[in-house]
Structure 1
Amino acid sequence: MKGYLYILECSDGSFYTGSTNDLNRRIEEHQTGKGSYHTRKSLPVKLVYFEEYDRVDHAFYREKQIQGWSRKKKLALIEGRFSDLPGLSKSPSTSSGTKDNR
């Protein structure tokens, strides 16, 4: 079953990263307040990036990878600045968080 990794930009400027097997349905759920708690309190949302995978578990794995990224690194991905991604990786001594709320 196909899977999709997606990044939404919320009305407060934060990013939400998720995965699904039906991208259109999931975006509609977020827009109508039936998605995650984070997007529900930050409507409207806008799809700013997605990747398609042959399997939904691959999309889920990618979701978890990107959730640990800094805001700057997510922005580089969204803007297609792929060559900047390695330089934006966190150093081992940097603490990591799972949310990216400005």
Structure 2
Amino acid sequence: MVGAPMTFWAYLLRCADNSFYCGHTDNLEMRMNQHQAGQIEGHTRHRRPVALVWSQEFPTRLEALEAERRIKGWTRAKKEALVCGDWQEMSRLARNRQVAGRPSTSSGRTDVGTRAEDHA
């Protein structure tokens, strides 16, 4: 008997202080409960309650992690556009960033600066 394929999620939370937190998981419901209960060390623990404002399903953990890392490199304005589903604004913000000549932080590379605690 073959098990069901595993699903992975990248997600974006809006915290009580209006900041964003981006993460990835293989169990979105459980991870949300952990964030709400303050069981996750770091950014969200003292910024509760949190609200799930965006999530996307991925077939592999690597793809979910790459999405998380890309989004973490985005500006607040681009994250807001993602939450609103404003693809035109996201595209405009991406073009403006390229025109400004700033280096991209959204390469999705997963081999630099990997820490075990980032994947909890």
Q: TM-score range by the shorter chain?
A: 0.7 to 0.9
Counterpart of 1:86, as a letter, is: S
- Structure 1 unaligned residues grouped into runs of 5+: 97-102
Q: How far off its partner does 1:51 sit?
A: 0.2
Question: What is the SS of the residue equivalent to 1:69?
Answer: coil
Q: TM-score, normalised by structure 1?
A: 0.87
Larger radius of gyration: 2
Closer/same/farther in 2, CA of residues 2 and 87 from structure 1, 3 Å limit: same
- Out of 2, 7, 20, the position equivalent to 2:7 is 2
- Structure 2 unaligned residues grouped into runs of 5+: 1-5, 106-120
TM alignment of 1:20-99, pairs within 5 A: 20-89=25-94, 90=97, 91-93=100-102
Greater relative contact order (Cα < 8 A, sep 6+): 1
Q: Percent identity?
A: 38
Q: TM-score, normalised by structure 2?
A: 0.74
- d(CA) in 2 for partners of 1:15 and 1:48? 9
